[in-house]
Amino acid sequence: MNRPKVFLTRKWPTSIETKLISLFDVTLNEQDIPLSADEFRSALQNYDAVCPSVCDAFPADVLNVPDKRCKILGNFGVGFNHIDIDAAQQQGLVVTNTPGVLTQSTADIAMTLLLMSARRGAEGDRLVRSGQWSGWCPTQMMSSDVTGASLGLIGFGRIAQAMARKAHHGFGMNIYYFKPSAADQAVIEELNATRCERVEDLLPICDFVSLHCPGGESTHHLINETRLKMMKSTAHLINTARGDVIDSQALIKALKDHWITGAGLDVYEGEPKIHPEFLQLDNVTLLPHLGSATIVTRTAMGEKVLNNLIAFFNGQPLLDRVV
């Protein structure tokens, strides 16, 4: 019996690629370069399973390609707003993702960005590397306190709660959150967390605001010029969620005109392209989408996709089915 043909759009951890090759007829992206829409269309026509990353766009005009052979998109990532889910469903495509295994690593990066923005870490690193540092002085690079400050979380799922635990138990931060419905009472009590009924209620009272909401139409530019102006002038904005949750142009204006003090970003609108004005600003920390980038986490994500493919081709229930 012929083995199912599987296509990986990017390079994966070697241990997972080896396991996939032992079970399926696998084509790898050996050069690990981003592929074009036409290459995605061709993959859908020639493989039983296509495994995209969160930066691979699969809109309707790609998914609706004729003579499609593909039956499942095994997404390497928890987010799936890069896939037109309605079109996939209409086309009879199964879509899976990788939830639950990247919680702590992404929360760690959110805390890293918070600390770097608060204490001007990236700016200090650049100062030393440039050879411009002349030595310690009492007023050099004054920054923001983290311990005892207030942290507002927009979205309060697994990653947000993990960040809240690190912030509250590690730094004594006061936790506020926005979520359409109240969180579990045990979580609220553990973190002494206060729910804000609207984003507008949270923004003016928090020293740090961290975004943990899904991408998509309902959250597109959730943080815009109007809401940025509601934040404290001393506040910092952190984003490890999705790039399009923030209006980039509005954030650039906020940072230039000091509506807020700083920002830390791990995701961007239209990434890997980054608005060039961000690169000119000292008060923004920029990371290259490192949220889940640990060996353990990326391997666990690959295992999730692998197990979803095994279950699908064996006719078994899928634990991580999106549609």
Instruction: Note the pLDDT of residue 30.
Output: 94
pTM of the entire predicted model:
0.96
Residue 320 lies in a domain: no
66/209 same-domain check: no
Structural domain harbouring 202? 103-286
Catalytic residues: 242, 271, 289
**41 pLDDT tier (thresholds 50, 70, 90):** very high
Which tens digit of pLDDT belongs to each residue from 18-36?
999 999 999 999 999 999 9
Residue 38 has pLDDT above 70, yes or no: yes
Within-domain flag for 124: yes
Nearest to 206 by CA among 244, 167, 243, 242: 167
- Whether 156 and 209 have beta carbons less than 8 Å apart is answered as no
Q: Please state the rounded mean pLDDT for residues 248-261.
A: 98
Confidence class of residue 131 from pLDDT cuts 50, 70 and 90?
very high
Which residues make Cβ contacts (< 8 Å) with residue 150, sequence separation at least 6?
A: 173, 174, 175, 176, 205, 206, 207, 208
Q: Is residue 318 part of a domain?
A: no
**Same structural domain, 52 and 114:** no
Q: Are residues 47 and 167 in the same domain?
A: no
Residues 307 and 222 in one domain: no
If one counts the domains in the chain, the total is 2
Tell me the CATH number at 10.
3.40.50.720
Let me know whether 116 and 146 are in one domain.
yes
Within a domain: residue 305? yes
Residue 142 lies in a domain: yes
Nearest to 236 by CA among 203, 268, 279: 203
